[in-house]
Amino acid sequence: MFTLTQTHATLLARLGSPADAAQHGQAWGEFLNRYAELIRGFCRRHSLQPNDQDDVLQDVLLSLSKAMPGFQYDPSIGKFRSYLKTVVLHAIYKKLCQARPGVSLGEMESMAVSQAQTATGDPSTDAQWEQEWRQHHLRQALRVIDAEFSTRDRTLFERYALAGEQPEMLAKETGLTLDAVYQIKSRITRRLSTLIESQIADEG
Amino acid sequence: MKVERFRATPVLPVIPPNRQSEINSGSGVGGASWFQDEAVLLGELKRSRGTSHTLTIPGYEDLRELKRGGQGIVYRAVQRSTKREVAIKVLLDSAYYSHSGQRRFEREVDLAASLRHPGVVRVYDSGRTSDARSYLVMEFAEGLSLEEFIGQARSDVRRTIATFLKVCDALQYAHTRGVIHRDIKPSNVRVDSEGIPRILDFGLAKIGDDVAASKSGTPGARTAAGSASEQVTSRSDTITTTGQFVGSLPWASPEQARGDHDQVDTRSDVYSLGVMLYQMLSGKFPCDVSGPLHTALNNIVTVQPIPVRQIRTDLDEQLEVILAKALSKEPQERYQSVGDMADDLRHHLAGEPIRARRESAWRGLQRTAMRYRVMVGAGAIALAALAVGSLLALWSASEARTQRDIAQQQTQIAKDESARAMREKDKAEGTVKFLNDLLSGASTVSGTGVEAKVVDVVTKAAATVDESYKNQPRTLAELHSILGNIFLSLDDIPNGRLHHVRATEVLATIKDLPKDDIGLLVARGNIATTYAYEGNFVESARLMQAAIDGYKEHGITKSADLAAAYSVLGVALRRMDKLDEAIAAYQAGIDAAPEPIDPNEPIVLLARANTMNNIASAYHSKNDYAKAETGYKQAIEVYRRAKGDEYSEVIVSTSNLAVLYLNQGRFQDALDLLLPLRDAAEKVYGGEHRTFMIYLNNIANAYEQMSRYDESLAIYEDVIARYRKTGKEHTPEIVVPLSNLAGVYAKAKRFDDAVRVAQESIDVSISALGPNHSSTWLSRQTLGLCLSKAGRVEESLSVLEPVYQATRVGGDKSPIEELWRRCLIASTYAYSLAENERTEDALRVQQEALDTCVAQFGESHFASLRLMEQSTKILEIAGKAEESAAMQARWDTAKRKP
């Protein structure tokens, strides 16, 4: 069962200081578990195919690993998510630039950088990134929900809160009271909210 | 026909983001509110329905999540019909995958499912979940992982090898069925209660297609791909390398570590097996993968493994040799098949001689050195060319600069010679002390006792330097320069610039400092360089010019710093498209360079060759063919002298020169240049590398221009096949070869094929680059041509008309830059008009195109000649026989001119 076993800061710290090989590999593995889908989602918005998404993911990993050794996690300097965004954008634009034949490597790099630089101020990119980030938080939170709530409750929540089925019908079908159905929905919703709140706080 | 060209321009390093300035810049971060609003929260949740967390798969029940990875989620489940336990791997979000991705996945599954071997975990089934994700149903394999199994039996070498051989057999079986595992490691092998190992997780498998089988024979065509049974691989959309990759790092082959996924084949599995055996026998990994990720990757690629007998002295020498062969960095040096490796192991067990030979230490070293050079070649040149002061030898450079400063200043009238001399001495001493402190300070920086990183050391030193040297401004300035260069070499541009700026500030505090003080000029040049690193060429050029002017005012004409400054200026100007000025700057840089101590030192030669290549490129852009040719040839000569033939820059420069020849219509010359180096190119870049594809494309183009269509077709088809093989059939890189192929089909009168392929190139171009990209227009052009040649004149016109309209505008409005290309497009359109009996329009358009081309490029330019040929034909169609004959004569005359 997947649970958030550690704070975000701890994870970053582990990435930055390789105590031993197994730990290190594990830390990166967890990092990827957390962020791979987020990064892929963002790549898809830029119309990158899965092959290219893999390359971007690898690129991001390499960039981060170069930066990590000196990385002192200090929330006051700036959010990790902004930092990650810039790294991801840079990797994406580099990939997009590679798509243009005849562009030399040097030009590619500077194009990638200048595009990344403009994009980080670009409201539409920012909005996309925000959306992806929300999805990311939801995914994380949902994993915990999976562990904490029974299949019945989760199915109920899905059908009522998301699919919009009638609570009266659901109550009848499951043999629960109407009130119980309402309660399940609100419990899960609240739990999601709390989880995401603490995730965001943790992330810095 | 479009011909690809690339330049050996300096490679700028990857620039990491400036964390310092990224303070919460996300818009609408609303970190506090979106999840507290129920409606918004649920709305977002609905949007994420694609990854539903309550999963049902028909036919299977009792799903329990086992583990989650970058590729997907693995569940344990029970098959309803048989009640047997299975493992189900559900892949991430395939809603976004293309049709071809889906097909590829299905083919993969079919192949994996066809594997029936006691050593391979069965794949039973596949399908799509209710929310359109693909899943794979596999046998649930119990038992110990190989690691656990071996841990108990390490001392028994023979038994270990025997178990290992079973894994080899299973893998060899899979390879012969065309399936490559790509992720061989002990945790992917389960050993059951009878000690039989079984390989699982062929979910990362790469499938090989037999290319030769899919090609229906073209009469006379030779396949450059080699033997018919060559194993080829296609890349699966379902591969998520990175998540698995990190966990599999110790077993990754050098080509995987480099990220060359195109190069991964059965021999990569051989490497991984080698690591596994090494580990099983010695308990250790052959390469050190314990440090930070990029170090580990680098070690895998470049560092030779420790011979296994240094760890386990009781092992037989034969085993060491076998392992060394399996762990060769170059795939062609390894066992070419798992079976071969297994054979040698069996020979060893039987006490017989093995096939692998121990290679001499010298060759090993040579090879390492060569490989390292090839890989970092471009970067090293770039740094050498861009270095101001020196990024490579900090201390010696600053010392040299100090000495030069001293030497220069002695020729001037010094206000206070003794005081100045004292300052220099202080500076020299101070610098030595600083650097010593820097290096020895390493142990005091990191509290954890872990080996300190350079950046930590430097950052700490940087913080204290202002205080420690406040009374020695020259020294302090020098130190800031050094720090600045160190940060640049660490790819930290902001800090690099910070320190270089600081250097100028410190110098400014010196009383009575002359405005064009040497130290100041150098510092300014450094700042200008940082802008170039960032890609801000305008600013870089401006500042660098100011610095250079300062040198001139100082009366300095020969100086390494000045030469480097010109070099950077040249790069900046070329990138600003100021070609004449760029060339002038490069030339000035050559003139300003002082005589090197050893002119044959490779780094000196390379720097010079790079400058020559850049100059030649600039001339090429200007269509000054004569100068470009000289430049390229010089560059090639020097590259050869420095590095020999099998070196990337030689290939690149040669290819550039060949393109030049092609532009000039010297097709045989181009061929003579390209053919001898073809094998070297393949060796240096690899058969599926983009650069090599361009190289082949150029050869094919040469054949085509010489009307040797069969040979041309064979190569174009080979190029396309290679692209398909590596899953690049929908990427922009394939557009030009497809378009070229279509053109040749048309010339060879295979019209149906021509139109089909031309259409394909348009489709790919639109989807990959967009409907208004220059490549798309050129592809449409090709289609128009093919239709015209096929006699489908009306269709041809309807295709060509918009191309003409879109491209005729000049300047940066046109999607096509090169004027000669636009003229040819116009001419094609004109011809089509003529075919459609719109004679007046045809003549008008053609005349305009011809006049423009001749005015710009002269009568003898190959494009002008082509246009004259077209004019001849158009005039004939228009019934103007006399004028047609006159045009023919004009063509004759023009062709004979040198």
Judge whether A102 is closer than 8 Å to chain B, CB to CB.
yes
pLDDT band at residue B411, thresholds of 50, 70 and 90?
very low
Chain A hits for B735, CB-CB cut-off 8 Å, are: 101
Chain B hits for A100, CB-CB cut-off 8 Å, are: 732, 769
Highest mean pLDDT out of B548-562, B612-626, B744-758: B744-758
Judge whether A196 is closer than 8 Å to chain B, CB to CB.
yes
Judge whether A13 is closer than 8 Å to chain B, CB to CB.
no
Measured in angstroms, the CA of B169 and the nearest CA of chain A are apart by 29
pLDDT for B784 beyond 80:
yes
Q: Which residue has the higher pLDDT, B499 or B242?
A: B499
- The mean per-residue pLDDT over the stretch B593-621 comes to 71
In this complex, do B19 and A77 lie within 8 Å of one another by their Cβ atoms? yes
- The mean per-residue pLDDT over the stretch B508-533 comes to 79
pLDDT for B274 beyond 90:
yes
Q: Which residue of A has its CA nearest to B617?
A: A104
Q: What are the pLDDT digits (tens) for B10-35?
A: 333 222 333 222 222 222 334 347 88
In this complex, do B49 and A70 lie within 8 Å of one another by their Cβ atoms? no
In this complex, do A192 and B45 lie within 8 Å of one another by their Cβ atoms? yes
Question: What does the longest C-alpha to C-alpha distance in chain B come to?
Answer: 100
Q: What are the pLDDT digits (tens) for B326-372?
A: 999 988 889 989 999 999 999 888 887 777 765 544 333 333 333 33
pLDDT band at residue B92, thresholds of 50, 70 and 90?
low
Lowest mean pLDDT among B255-264, B502-511, B871-880: B255-264
Lowest mean pLDDT among A79-88, B451-460, B490-499, B687-696: B451-460
In this complex, do A90 and B15 lie within 8 Å of one another by their Cβ atoms? yes
In this complex, do B242 and A57 lie within 8 Å of one another by their Cβ atoms? yes
In this complex, do A85 and B26 lie within 8 Å of one another by their Cβ atoms? yes
Q: What are the pLDDT digits (tens) for B651-673?
A: 878 888 888 888 788 889 999 99
Q: Which residue of B has its CA nearest to A25?
A: B247
Q: What is the pLDDT of residue B327?
A: 95
Of the partner residues A121, A130, A193, the one whose CB lies closest to the CB of residue B28: A130
Cβ distance B423 to B513 under 8 Å?
no
pLDDT for B692 beyond 70:
yes
Average pLDDT, chain B: 72
pLDDT band at residue B236, thresholds of 50, 70 and 90?
very low
pLDDT for B41 beyond 60:
yes
Chain A hits for B449, CB-CB cut-off 8 Å, are: none
Judge whether A190 is closer than 8 Å to chain B, CB to CB.
no
Chain A hits for B775, CB-CB cut-off 8 Å, are: 101
pLDDT for B812 beyond 70:
no
Lowest mean pLDDT among B452-456, B627-631, B679-683: B452-456
Q: What is the pLDDT of residue A174?
A: 86
Q: Which residue of B has its CA nearest to A84?
A: B17
Q: What is the pLDDT of residue B230?
A: 19
In this complex, do B23 and A50 lie within 8 Å of one another by their Cβ atoms? no
Cβ distance A99 to A44 under 8 Å?
no
**How far apart are alpha carbons B755 and A64 in whole angstroms?**
47
Cβ distance A139 to A2 under 8 Å?
no
Q: What are the pLDDT digits (tens) for B882-891?
A: 999 999 999 9
Instruction: Report the run of H or E that residue B704 belongs to, with start and end.
Output: helix B690-705
- The mean per-residue pLDDT over the stretch B279-298 comes to 80
Cβ distance B44 to A196 under 8 Å?
no
- The mean per-residue pLDDT over the stretch B77-94 comes to 79
Measured in angstroms, the CA of B898 and the nearest CA of chain A are apart by 30
Chain B hits for A106, CB-CB cut-off 8 Å, are: 9-12, 382, 575
B229's CB contacts (< 8 A; 6+ apart) are B210, B212
Q: What is the pLDDT of residue B52?
A: 42
| Residue B227 DSSP class | S
ipTM: 0.70
Judge whether A179 is closer than 8 Å to chain B, CB to CB.
no
- Taking residue B318's Cβ as centre, other Cβ atoms within 10 Å add up to 19
Q: Say if residue B577 is exposed, middle or buried (CB neighbours under 10 Å; 0-12, 13-18, 19+).
A: exposed
Chain B hits for A109, CB-CB cut-off 8 Å, are: 11-15, 535
Q: What is the pLDDT of residue B226?
A: 25
**How far apart are alpha carbons B419 and B421 in whole angstroms?**
5
In this complex, do A29 and B261 lie within 8 Å of one another by their Cβ atoms? no
pLDDT band at residue B42, thresholds of 50, 70 and 90?
confident
- The mean per-residue pLDDT over the stretch B768-793 comes to 85
Of B125, B120, B127, nearest in space to B181 by CA = B120
pLDDT band at residue B54, thresholds of 50, 70 and 90?
low
Reading across the β-sheet that carries B123-128, which strands appear in turn? Answer: B60-68, B72-79, B85-91, B134-139, B123-128
Q: What are the pLDDT digits (tens) for B426-442?
A: 555 555 555 544 444 33
pLDDT for A200 beyond 60:
yes
What share of chain B has pLDDT > 90, as a percent? 14
In this complex, do B22 and A86 lie within 8 Å of one another by their Cβ atoms? yes
Cβ distance B12 to A106 under 8 Å?
yes
pLDDT band at residue B231, thresholds of 50, 70 and 90?
very low
- The mean per-residue pLDDT over the stretch B244-262 comes to 70
Judge whether A93 is closer than 8 Å to chain B, CB to CB.
no
Q: What is the pLDDT of residue B152?
A: 61
Of the partner residues A36, A106, A193, the one whose CB lies closest to the CB of residue B41: A193
Of B326, B503, B250, nearest in space to B401 by CA = B503
Chain A hits for B74, CB-CB cut-off 8 Å, are: none
Highest mean pLDDT out of B6-20, B541-555, B582-596: B541-555
Judge whether A155 is closer than 8 Å to chain B, CB to CB.
yes
Of the partner residues B24, B96, B245, the one whose CB lies closest to the CB of residue A78: B24
Of B164, B88, B100, nearest in space to B124 by CA = B88
Q: Which residue has the higher pLDDT, B759 or B529?
A: B759
Residue B416: HSE in the Cβ half-sphere, 13 Å Cα cutoff: 8
Lowest mean pLDDT among A79-88, B14-23, B678-687: B14-23
* Geometric angle at alpha carbon A72, from A67 and A78, rounded to 5°: 90
Measured in angstroms, the CA of B233 and the nearest CA of chain A are apart by 14
Question: Can you tell me which residue has the tokens 């309803």?
Answer: B80
Q: What is the pLDDT of residue B511?
A: 79
Q: What is the pLDDT of residue B550?
A: 87
pLDDT band at residue B492, thresholds of 50, 70 and 90?
low
Q: Strand, coil or helix: what is B263?
A: helix
**How far apart are alpha carbons B603 and B609 in whole angstroms?**
10
In this complex, do A25 and B247 lie within 8 Å of one another by their Cβ atoms? yes
**How far apart are alpha carbons B530 and B495 in whole angstroms?**
10
Q: What is the pLDDT of residue B318?
A: 86
Characterise B21 by phi-psi region: left (phi > 0), alpha (psi -120 to 50), beta (else): alpha
Of B648, B723, B112, B621, nearest in space to B372 by CA = B648
- The mean per-residue pLDDT over the stretch A178-202 comes to 89
Q: What are the pLDDT digits (tens) for B707-748?
A: 899 999 999 899 888 888 777 677 777 888 888 899 899 988
Measured in angstroms, the CA of A178 and the nearest CA of chain B are apart by 20
pLDDT for A122 beyond 70:
no
